[in-house]
């Protein structure tokens, strides 16, 4: 067995691990990243990027199929068709460019990427099984960035027609009937895309609402769009078992329904990859299956850090990246702690939802007296000119001094306002700071300006 030593060993080359690797290399730390599958992890290969590519293709197709002579825009197009296999190969091309880019960036930073499966022998020693050989790496510091995987329902194991998001993002034909189990992020994003591609979609959600973590004002525009797309939504309904024709579900009043399905997409959450790779042998302090970390991403074992999905909610790529960057800087001797006020979250539904900071309800629970302002896209010229009038921007601010605590909204293209929302909150902006800033016209960003004016009691355009 060959031995290798390094100052920093990162297990997992997803957004957490690869960003940590790039930054550590830039800072002159002798770093090795070990990845068992493909650089870029879930996000680049089977998550964020592939799903957004599919959503874009579905939007384009859907738009075209509505230019059938009834469009108010006066556009009529000949009948549309989709070759999903080609769409998927276009998506694969984007993935290849990005994952190749990650490999190049690691190399440029002087960080070694080893393709193989890592397993802890102890807190400083890891065995890596590669195609060619087994390798033992001894490191001063280790970062666990092993990510997460789709939760499987015991009575509905993946295989055959029962698929996870990974298979859904690689189908070569649009299923005629798609049943989605779980009305959360993935179920709604992918379910909506397939409905736009022509599938008859049913979403089965165990609780009484979609995206249970968001308030009803934010999910209402999405509910309306699901209905307009003809997506059947069964709330308070649980998947029970596969049947010959599809899926048997049980409604709140105990009724059993057999839903015909060509594919059953199970999206009931993701679980941290903390039970393999010899991680249990380290006896780290845990929060359930998540590895417990402090505000510097240190675990309970000296020299062992953990970042990304394996450390808890929110399981988002940008949180993993920010943690990875921070850990690299700490290891280079910089004084850093996790001091973020907010982590923006975007759900790429139709329309999109963005949340950042505290909702009115969360502020109330925290005992903070707030004032709030909301501006609808029906009064925004840019939204009207894009046929995207559904949704709004909402601001939540402290009543005593107007400091902005939260920004949320729903709307087509509102994902691009997530940065503005986060900047306002992280920089401690007050309502009158945003009110005093010139927002370019005509843009969706004017809704942020107007929501703040509304909270101050002098909105201009409503
Ligand atoms: P991962 O990306 O899961 O990477 C972990 C890596 O570790 C993997 O490559 C794995 O192969 C490797 N690994 C594991 N064990 C070992 C081992 N023993 N040895 C070697 N390598 C190992 N988030 C967003 O912010 N925005 C989105 O729009 C979004 N969309 C998503 C859509 C889908 C369909 C899915 C599934 C997820 C989406 N996410 C999104 C979530 C996002 O992908 C994750 O939060 C992010 O990838 C987590 O990064 P990570 O580095 O912690 O883990
Ligand atoms: P989720 O937690 O968002 O949603 C799962 C849903 O499934 C919940 O609404 C839950 O009530 C429901 N559910 C659970 N068991 C069920 C059952 N037996 N029958 C019916 N419904 C059931 O999980 P997800 O959609 O799998 O996504 C996982 C994670 O991936 C997200 O939490 C998020 O962190 C990340 N993600 C983020 C994005 C984004 O940022 N745009 C996109 C996709 C995924």
Ligand with an atom nearest the CA of residue 273: 1
CA distance linking residue 268 with residue 72, whole number of Å:
39
**Minimum CA distance residue for ligand 2 atom 19:** 238
Could you tell me if the CB of 11 is within 6 A of ligand 1?
yes
- Written as six digits, the tokens of 454 are 């509304």
Give the mean pLDDT per block of 10 residues along the chain (462 residues).
89 98 98 98 98 98 90 90 97 98 98 98 96 94 98 97 98 98 98 98 97 95 98 97 95 94 98 98 98 98 98 98 98 98 98 98 97 98 97 98 98 98 98 98 98 97 94
**Minimum CA distance residue for ligand 2 atom 36:** 185
CA distance linking residue 281 with residue 284, whole number of Å:
8
**Minimum CA distance residue for ligand 2 atom 33:** 315
Show Cβ contacts of residue 254 under 8 Å, excluding neighbours closer than 6 positions: none
Distance, C-alpha 57 to centroid of its chain: 18
- Angstrom CA distances, 276 to 14, 118, 250, 280, 329, stand at 17, 10, 34, 7, 28
Show Cβ contacts of residue 79 under 8 Å, excluding neighbours closer than 6 positions: 65
Ligand with an atom nearest the CA of residue 39: 1
Q: What is the per-residue pLDDT for 1? A: 61
**Minimum CA distance residue for ligand 2 atom 23:** 269
Residue carrying structure tokens 């992918």 = 190
Phi, psi of 370 (to 5 degrees): -125, 165
Per DSSP, the three-state class of 101 is: helix
Q: Separation of 181 CA from ligand 2 center, angstroms?
A: 9
Q: Separation of 210 CA from ligand 2 center, angstroms?
A: 10
**Which of 35, 56, 106, 147 for mutating ligand 1's site (highest number of atoms within 8 Å of CB)?**
147
Show Cβ contacts of residue 101 under 8 Å, excluding neighbours closer than 6 positions: none
Show Cβ contacts of residue 335 under 8 Å, excluding neighbours closer than 6 positions: none
Which ligand 2 atom minimizes the distance to the CA of 316?
Answer: 34
Q: Separation of 208 CA from ligand 2 center, angstroms?
A: 14
The answer to whether 346 and 415 are in contact (CB under 8 A) is yes
Show Cβ contacts of residue 424 under 8 Å, excluding neighbours closer than 6 positions: 404, 407, 433, 434, 448
Could you tell me if the CB of 193 is within 6 A of ligand 1?
no
Angle at which helices 84-108 and 48-65 cross, to 10°: 150
Could you tell me if the CB of 165 is within 6 A of ligand 1?
yes
Q: What is the per-residue pLDDT for 78? A: 83
**Minimum CA distance residue for ligand 2 atom 24:** 269
Q: Separation of 185 CA from ligand 2 center, angstroms?
A: 5
The answer to whether 133 and 120 are in contact (CB under 8 A) is no
Could you tell me if the CB of 182 is within 6 A of ligand 2?
yes
Q: Separation of 191 CA from ligand 1 center, angstroms?
A: 20
Which residues are known to be catalytic?
Answer: 441
Q: Separation of 269 CA from ligand 2 center, angstroms?
A: 4
**Which of 9, 10, 11, 12 for mutating ligand 1's site (highest number of atoms within 8 Å of CB)?**
12
Could you tell me if the CB of 207 is within 6 A of ligand 2?
yes
Ligand with an atom nearest the CA of residue 275: 1
The DSSP-derived string for 48-81 is HHHHHHHHHHHHHHHHHHT-BS--TT--B-PPP-
Q: What is the per-residue pLDDT for 181? A: 98
Q: What is the per-residue pLDDT for 105? A: 98
Ligand with an atom nearest the CA of residue 269: 2
Furthest-apart CA atoms within the chain: distance in Å: 72
Phi, psi of 426 (to 5 degrees): -65, -30
Could you tell me if the CB of 168 is within 6 A of ligand 1?
no
- Written as six digits, the tokens of 153 are 């329902």
């Amino acid at each position: 067995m060959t031995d290798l030593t390094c100052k920093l060993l990162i297990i997992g080359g997803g957004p957490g691990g690869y960003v940590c690797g790039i930054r550590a290399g830039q800072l002159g730390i002798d770093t090795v990243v070990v990845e068992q599958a493909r650089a870029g992890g879930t996000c680049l290969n089977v998550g964020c990027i592939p799903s957004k590519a599919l959503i874009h293709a579905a939007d384009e197709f859907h738009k075209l199929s509505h230019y059938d002579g009834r469009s108010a825009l006066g556009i009529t197009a000949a009948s549309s068709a989709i070759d999903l296999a080609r769409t998927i190969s276009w998506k694969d091309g984007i993935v290849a460019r990005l994952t190749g880019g990650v490999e190049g960036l690691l190399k440029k930073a002087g960080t070694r990427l080893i393709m193989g499966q890592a397993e802890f022998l102890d807190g400083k020693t890891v065995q890596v099984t590669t195609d060619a050989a087994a390798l033992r790496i001894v490191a001063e510091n280790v970062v666990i960035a092993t990510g997460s995987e789709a939760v499987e329902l015991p009575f509905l194991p993946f295989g055959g027609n029962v698929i996870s998001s990974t298979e859904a993002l690689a189908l070569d034909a649009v299923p005629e009937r798609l049943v989605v189990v779980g009305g959360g992020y993935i179920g709604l994003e992918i379910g909506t895309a397939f409905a736009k591609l022509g599938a008859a979609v049913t979403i089965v959600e165990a609780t009484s609402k979609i995206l249970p973590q968001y308030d009803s004002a934010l999910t209402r525009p999405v509910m309306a769009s699901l209905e307009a797309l003809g997506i059947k939504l069964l709330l308070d309904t649980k998947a029970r078992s596969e049947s010959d024709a599809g899926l048997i579900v049980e409604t709140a009043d105990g009724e059993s329904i057999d839903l015909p399905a060509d594919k059953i997409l199970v999206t009931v959450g993701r679980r941290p990859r903390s039970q393999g790779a010899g991680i249990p042998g380290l006896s780290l302090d845990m929060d359930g299956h998540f590895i417990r970390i402090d505000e510097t991403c240190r675990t309970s074992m000296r020299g062992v850090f953990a970042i990304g999905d394996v450390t808890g909610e929110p399981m988002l790529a940008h949180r993993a990246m920010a943690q990875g960057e921070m850990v690299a800087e700490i290891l280079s001797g910089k004084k850093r702690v996790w001091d973020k006020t907010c982590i923006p979250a975007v759900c790429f539904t139709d329309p999109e939802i963005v949340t950042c900071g505290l909702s009115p309800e969360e502020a109330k629970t925290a005992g903070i007296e707030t004032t709030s302002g909301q501006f609808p896209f029906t009064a925004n010229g840019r939204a009207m000119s894009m046929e995207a009038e559904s949704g709004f921007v909402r601001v939540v601010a402290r009543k005593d001094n107007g400091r902005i605590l939260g920004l949320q909204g729903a709307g087509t293209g509102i994902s691009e306002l997530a940065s503005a929302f986060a900047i306002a909150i992280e920089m401690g902006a007050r309502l009158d700071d945003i009110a005093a800033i010139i927002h370019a016209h005509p843009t969706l960003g004017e809704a942020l300006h107007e929501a703040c004016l509304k909270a101050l009691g002098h909105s201009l355009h409503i």
